[in-house]
């Protein structure tokens, strides 16, 4: 079975960077999965992919170097099982606030005896290897989101739930929960303190802490200790590049990007 | 009916810049149509949109400032009529090599007595105005591609075909036709000479010459006399921004882009 | 093979009425095909169905009493063959202006020796009967549109082309071609004269003349001699009923429609 | 952010009327949203829209005067968040029988501190305004369905749950729960008594009571005190208009509807 | 309403055989539903159908002799109601381990007073009969999966839950739960013992036990007492036939299958 | 660029066998492309794939050993270019009856100076190699169908058109054209004589003759001299295997097929 290089990087203490798919294009997914990222995440919660689009995007990314993962819309075992069956090598699970919710997320990701995931990886076996049934529990990563003050207050206990590989912080939701305005580049002291607590709990238990970020903020987030940092999304990347290219040409400069074959 | 600002810019002697949609995401289309471009083009020839996706993208761009146009897969009246009915304000028509082919393209774009387009603009009237049936022939732009040596040799006569608003050069195809390697940034002398001939024929007849370009090449193309320059595409923009952002973070720099709300 | 009751009605001198599908809903198609009409037409020209949607709608209408037909986007043998293979029992072919164009439309609808339709009716045989391959040429109707002044001037000769079952008038296009404003209820003298000419040519050759109409105009069109009259469309029907129902309730009246099960 | 005129009408004591989308056509959605209704509801429970279709329909209705809402398939926070992110200005939540279920529905609709909706309104911000993140809790309406005898027995307490804007009665389900045959025009005394109880509880707490209705029944429902009355659906409207138009023409009458441009 | 011949066969003590749909093709669904099977099951759990595809497949199978059923992704009332509304005549519900979970599955399948299914069978009434609302509870079959050791330990009590028509064993999951390697042809003694226990509990309560099987194993599974045996799937059938046909031709033999009309 | 093993086999004098895709499932496409065939063909003429489905299937087959080809709906350069851009390594072109039609097919498949295919292989380059632009003309196969008596009478001249790699016989159409009943296993003397003429013309010009066949007939077709033989289709294979498996189990035999992992 294909090795999950995201997991091995985390276990080796390395930081990883990723890209986000808000739209639903298999072509875009494949391009971004060849763009130097360690992972690419199909967003089924705030992005616009439903299962059908996620399947098509996962199939399009099968040969790419980035590890394909999915943010599911909710902590629900049906959809977690389906995206794993579709070939996702990890799931980000929103709004995990308690140990019980974390245990439920793990159960949905792992086959017995470590969980209660249902067997039937037809596409996953085609995509990731014929030994998927026996290898999956070692390679699939389970990534609960820590994004409320309740979750932060439970983060130590959640980090000790067996089968969790990383945390993922949603700055917008954690900001709201802390009474702050949603901001992907949030740096308010209460937010920073919560982030520190999350990272400390993660590292103390051998797991990585991750966060949704922006190009400008990613280096700082890594310096702060996050080891799974989403740098940009398909929509943001295309819009920012397009806007700056057009502005550069309008102002008489060269846009700076040269590319053939598009 | 909505005014076609692309046409009025051309008639006013201005240069315009555009973006290209190779993938099929309505969200992406809308974002790019709000990114400072004068036009956004759905590519049904070398892109992956079929009619259904083009319709969805055109509907998503209805409120955006950029003029929505479509490159149809071939010079065929059925598909030209359908994308205009779907709300496109212009069509780029591939491989127009002769006066007869140019006349056919115009006929497909114009209602009688100027052409033979069939009446029935249900979506277009919803999108562009209830007076579409009477206003369309003034606002819709017809843009044949000049991309072979045969077309270049006929370009003067083609430019005099009534109803043409602009030419569009495909550097890859024109390069091939001239015995050169396809290159979006082609600058070989034979190519440059052909480009000059196309621009001269266009300007002599009050129409604009356009070209598919890259961010780095667009300012030069405008300086050379092209007045409809496609600067980048969704796939290219996203990939280049993503790659450079990740490289910047890996090298310790800030990526440079800051954005909330994604 | 299923009998085409549209054809037998026409041969029996009867008038028929139909409904039009501008949107792409299989559910809607099925409901309208059970609403008392003699035929239901999927519009691939000015409606929004592409082949995929037409196939789904035709499959949804298989058990319904109305005869399913399709208006193809253009007089092109590829798409005519495909919609017939999908189970359409007739095609309306736009913009047939000459005998040669009429012969091409017939060839695309008929198997050798009467035409050059390609063999392979997989869905059609499932839908219409295992003897489709031998029965199709008797049951499929070929319906050219007569919608330009050129077509009107050729209508006698076109009516004598073997294999044509009916004409279909597009009032919008014929109006435009005659220098009139497009109007589904067109009654200008030149239009009426052309309509008379079309009907006369049709009846003289044992075929039916049809026209796109409105609820208010249909009785008059039938009285005038049209025997294939499209009364309304999915979008028009839903919008007019919804609007009048809401207005009736707002004004304190009962809306007049009672229905369970929706 | 766009004002929710449905909410302001209810707070002002007005009655509102709506339309229902059982099929999945964006074109139909847009037409009905311009047909004089106060709201249009995409039905993901008993209609045929899944998330992908709901998104396309919501995008198609963005410029229309009717307020776009969605009936979600079940009281589940994942899908409620996703349709709100897609631009729905309200959700109808099926089978809310207890205070706890009502509180769960509210939590899914409101950002902290009023609920636990997750932040990430990418499309909603494009569609409804850049200040969506701060304005949404004021503009989004949460509408639990009261459709079982259990719900009726709890209706007073449910009406006092903060964050509920209206109730919506499903006459079919409430009929069944009361031992009656499902009937959209149900007038059995036990049903009427339950309806009265629901309206009284609603009005006592400053919220509106709504009901699924028919054209014939809507005026009576409003007279009875319902202030959110769904008058008809896309399928019902199209079928009834088509059927009556064809019958009218068959009987020699004019159908009564005149329309151009379809 | 259409009679559920699967239910009547089970009540009559007969064994039934079925086919499985892992892919999403309506054509394939229809062909397999005419291939001699008693039932055909759309798999929304480990197959690739989402609601939209399941609806299209169910509509395509409406006229076929095999009873159309669906395996839903999870024991969740929203999706159970939706596939029943789409015309499924039964649902297979994964991972039913307790009496409470079995009761929840039944409630989702039955209208009051036997359950809490919500009323609104628009497509189902079109497909299965206008008396659907009153007939459904008699014709729809509810089939919990017994596929964990926990479920086996509760199987007697689960079998006594009113409203269950059959059990369905997933050999892969039951194998995993028993500490065995997943195997559709599992014959390990602990598995056989569990299978016996399941069959005994089923038969003692007048319900049928079913199992997912293979062509080679099906006769043995029936001999053992299973009365609902899935023999093969679309993907497996096509791949095995294609592979063996090609191998036969390569080796000089005739492939053995003769068919026209494809 | 990926080598076209179909072309090298033909040039080496070998026979090749293929599979046919009538339905539209990417999963099925991938499975069949791993089933021992030399090629797999997506059928856009009599199958149900439109461009969108063909693209998805081609993407799903990228890693598989079988060479992916497409039968386009008609001899039209727009669609030929689009499926090649989507990664097809060959096209089967229906109804090529004359040298001029054959030359048109070749032109659509080859870049200048050998043809007039338009440049822009975005997906093809991702799928088949970054040197696609220079390698394509060597690797893409162009396969006209010889399926009318007119074509047979021209077959010698057609075979000499540069750029043709193989002929493909449609037995149904050729039967019809010869006055025979359509039959995939046609063996009437006039058909056999025509087939001989086609093979002789092909071999005399160093190209392969192909034919649509059945499992039972394929060995005989190869013995007769066809070197590109389509053995079965997805629908036929699945239906025949399913039917025979069920019949075998009903009759008490084992079905004969054992497979895990489905």
Measure the CA angle with vertex C56, ends A45 and A48; round to 5°: 10
Interface contact A111-E176, CB threshold 8 A: yes
Per-residue pLDDT tens over the stretch C3-18:
999 999 999 999 999 9
Torsion region of A38: left, alpha or beta (phi above 0 gives left; psi -120 to 50 gives alpha):
alpha
* Structural domain contains residue F79: yes
At residue C257, does pLDDT exceed 70?
Answer: no
* Structural domain contains residue D262: no
* Structural domain contains residue E42: yes
pTM of the predicted protein model? 0.96
List chain E residues with CB under 8 Å of C127. Answer: none
Structure token pair of residue B156: 């003067």
* Structural domain contains residue B262: no
Contact by Cβ (8 Å): D18, D28: no
Residues of F annotated as catalytic (active site), given as ranges: 46
What pLDDT does residue E254 have?
52
Per-residue pLDDT tens over the stretch C218-242:
999 999 999 999 999 999 999 999 9
Quickly count: other Cβ atoms within 10 Å of residue B3's Cβ: 14
Quickly count: other Cβ atoms within 10 Å of residue B236's Cβ: 27
Band of residue E261 on the pLDDT scale cut at 50, 70, 90 = very low
Interface contact B122-C179, CB threshold 8 A: no
Interface of F with E in 213-242 (CB under 8 A): 214-220, 222, 229, 231-242
Q: How far is A188 from chain F (nearest CA, A)?
A: 44
Q: How far is E84 from chain D (nearest CA, A)?
A: 10
What pLDDT does residue E250 have?
92
CA dihedral D45, D47, D52, D58 (to 10 degrees): -100
At residue A254, does pLDDT exceed 70?
Answer: no
List chain A residues with CB under 8 Å of D118. Answer: 45-46, 94-95, 147, 170, 172-173
Band of residue D261 on the pLDDT scale cut at 50, 70, 90 = very low
CA–CA dist C37, C42 (Å, integer): 14
- Average pLDDT (A102-112) is 98
* Structural domain contains residue C223: yes
- Average pLDDT (B76-98) is 98
* Structural domain contains residue D194: yes
Which of E122, E126, E129, E259 to mutate against chain C (most C CBs within 10 Å)?
Answer: E126
Residue among F27, F56, F133 minimizing CB distance to A123? F27
Band of residue B252 on the pLDDT scale cut at 50, 70, 90 = confident
Per-residue pLDDT tens over the stretch A52-76:
999 999 999 999 999 999 999 999 9
Structure token pair of residue F132: 């696609």
Residues of A annotated as catalytic (active site), given as ranges: 46
What pLDDT does residue E252 have?
75
- Tell whether C160 lies on the interface with B, counting CB pairs under 8 A: no
The residues, any chain, with a CB within 8 Å of residue D187's CB and separated by 6 or more, are none
List chain B residues with CB under 8 Å of A229. Answer: 249
Band of residue A252 on the pLDDT scale cut at 50, 70, 90 = confident
CA–CA dist D246, A177 (Å, integer): 59
At residue F259, does pLDDT exceed 50?
Answer: no
Contacts of F14-18 with CB under 8 Å at 24 or more apart are: F14/F227, F15/F222, F15/F226, F15/F227, F15/F228, F15/F229, F16/F208, F16/F227, F16/F228, F16/F229, F17/E246, F17/E249, F17/E250, F17/F218, F17/F222, F17/F229, F17/F230, F17/F231, F18/F66, F18/F69, F18/F228, F18/F229, F18/F230, F18/F231
CA–CA dist A218, A232 (Å, integer): 9
At residue F53, does pLDDT exceed 90?
Answer: yes
Interface contact E59-C262, CB threshold 8 A: no
Q: Domain tally for chain B?
A: 1
Any idea what DSSP says for residue B3?
A: -
What pLDDT does residue C260 have?
41
CA dihedral E244, E248, E254, E259 (to 10 degrees): 20
- Average pLDDT (A39-55) is 98
| β-bridge pairing E39-43 and E16-21 | parallel
Taking CA atoms, what residue in F is nearest to E33? Answer: F239
- Average pLDDT (A32-61) is 98
CA D191 distance to own-chain centroid: 20
At residue B223, does pLDDT exceed 90?
Answer: yes
- Average pLDDT (A215-219) is 96
List chain D residues with CB under 8 Å of B125. Answer: 261
Interface contact B59-D62, CB threshold 8 A: no
At residue F210, does pLDDT exceed 70?
Answer: yes
What pLDDT does residue F254 have?
52
Interface contact F52-B50, CB threshold 8 A: yes
At residue C262, does pLDDT exceed 80?
Answer: no
List chain C residues with CB under 8 Å of F172. Answer: 118-120
At residue F255, does pLDDT exceed 70?
Answer: no
List chain B residues with CB under 8 Å of D62. Answer: 63
- Average pLDDT (E120-136) is 95
Per-residue pLDDT tens over the stretch E33-57:
999 999 999 999 999 999 999 999 9
The answer to whether chain B touches chain E by having 3 or more C-beta pairs less than 8 angstroms apart is no
CA A254 distance to own-chain centroid: 35
At residue E174, does pLDDT exceed 90?
Answer: yes
Per-residue pLDDT tens over the stretch E201-242:
999 999 999 999 999 999 999 999 999 999 999 999 999 999
Per-residue pLDDT tens over the stretch C78-132:
999 999 999 999 999 999 999 999 999 999 999 999 999 999 999 999 999 999 9
What CATH code is carried by the domain that includes residue C216?
3.20.20.60
Q: Helices in chain C by DSSP H: which ranges? A: 5-11, 26-32, 51-60, 77-85, 99-109, 122-128, 132-139, 149-153, 155-159, 171-177, 189-204, 215-224, 234-250
Residue burial C222-255, b: 16+ Cβ < 10 Å; e: rest: bebbbbbbbbbbbbbbbbbbbbbbbebbbeeebb
* Mean pLDDT across chain C: 95
Cβ-Cβ pairs closer than 8 A, C with D, add up to 223
What pLDDT does residue B255 have?
46
Please report, in angstroms and rounded to a whole number, the separation of the first and last CA atoms in chain F: 33
Per-residue pLDDT tens over the stretch A76-89:
999 999 999 999 99
At residue C57, does pLDDT exceed 50?
Answer: yes
3-state secondary structure chain F: CCCCHHHHHHHCCCCEEEEEECCCCHHHHHHHHCCCCCEEEEECCCCCCCHHHHHHHHHHCCCCCCEEEEECCCCCHHHHHHHHHCCCCEEEECCCCCHHHHHHHHHHHCCCCCCCCCCCCHHHHHHHCCCHHHHHHHHCEEEEECCCHHHHHCHHHHHCCCCCCEEEECHHHHHHHCCCCCCCCCCCHHHHHHHHHHHHHHHHCCCEEEEECCHHHHHHHHHHCCCEEEEEEHHHHHHHHHHHHHHHHHCCCCCCCCCCCC
Contact by Cβ (8 Å): F73, F46: no
Interface contact D262-B56, CB threshold 8 A: no
Per-residue pLDDT tens over the stretch F144-159:
999 999 999 999 999 9
* Structural domain contains residue F260: no
Domain residues for the domain of A67 are 5-250
Band of residue B15 on the pLDDT scale cut at 50, 70, 90 = very high
Structure token pair of residue C144: 């050219």
List chain C residues with CB under 8 Å of F147. Answer: 118
> Minimal CA–CA distance to E195: which of E247, E151, E239?
E151
Interface contact B113-C74, CB threshold 8 A: no
- Tell whether D126 lies on the interface with B, counting CB pairs under 8 A: yes
The residues, any chain, with a CB within 8 Å of residue E7's CB and separated by 6 or more, are E90, E139, E141, E165
Band of residue B260 on the pLDDT scale cut at 50, 70, 90 = very low
What pLDDT does residue C252 have?
75
- Average pLDDT (D218-233) is 98
- Tell whether C87 lies on the interface with F, counting CB pairs under 8 A: no
* Structural domain contains residue D256: no
Interface contact F147-C113, CB threshold 8 A: no
CA dihedral A112, A118, A119, A124 (to 10 degrees): -110
Interface contact D46-E121, CB threshold 8 A: yes
Contact by Cβ (8 Å): D3, D139: yes
Any idea what DSSP says for residue C71?
A: E
What pLDDT does residue A253 have?
62
Residue among B26, B126, B261 minimizing CB distance to D59? B26
| Touching partners of D (3+ C-beta pairs < 8 Å) | A, B, C, E
Q: What percent of chain B has pLDDT above 90?
A: 95
């Amino acid at each position: 079975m294909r090795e999950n290089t995201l997991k091995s990087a985390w276990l080796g203490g390395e930081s990883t960077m990723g890209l986000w798919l808000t739209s639903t294009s298999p072509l875009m997914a494949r391009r971004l999965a060849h763009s130097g990222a360690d992972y690419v995440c199909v967003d089924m919660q705030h992005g616009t992919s439903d299962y059908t689009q996620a399947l098509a995007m996962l199939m399009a990314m099968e040969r790419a170097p980035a590890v394909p993962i999915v943010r599911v819309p909710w902590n629900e075992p049906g959809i977690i099982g389906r995206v794993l069956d579709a070939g996702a090598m990890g799931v980000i699970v929103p709004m995990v606030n308690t140990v019980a919710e974390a245990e439920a997320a793990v159960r949905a990701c792992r086959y017995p005896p470590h969980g209660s995931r249902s067997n039937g990886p037809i596409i996953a076996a085609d995509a990731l290897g014929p030994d998927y049934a026996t290898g999956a529990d070692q390679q699939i990563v389970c990534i609960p989101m820590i994004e409320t003050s309740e979750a932060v207050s439970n983060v130590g206990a959640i980090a000790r739930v067996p089968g969790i590989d990383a945390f993922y912080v949603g700055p917008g939701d954690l900001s709201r929960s802390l009474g702050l305005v949603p901001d992907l580049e949030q740096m308010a002291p209460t937010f920073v303190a919560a982030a520190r607590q999350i990272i400390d709990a993660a590292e103390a238990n051998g797991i990585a802490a991750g966060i949704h970020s922006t190009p400008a903020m990613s280096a700082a987030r890594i310096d702060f200790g996050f080891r799974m940092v989403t740098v940009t999304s398909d929509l943001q990347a295309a819009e920012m590049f397009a806007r700056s290219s057009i502005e550069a040409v309008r102002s008489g400069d060269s846009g700076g990007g040269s590319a053939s074959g598009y």
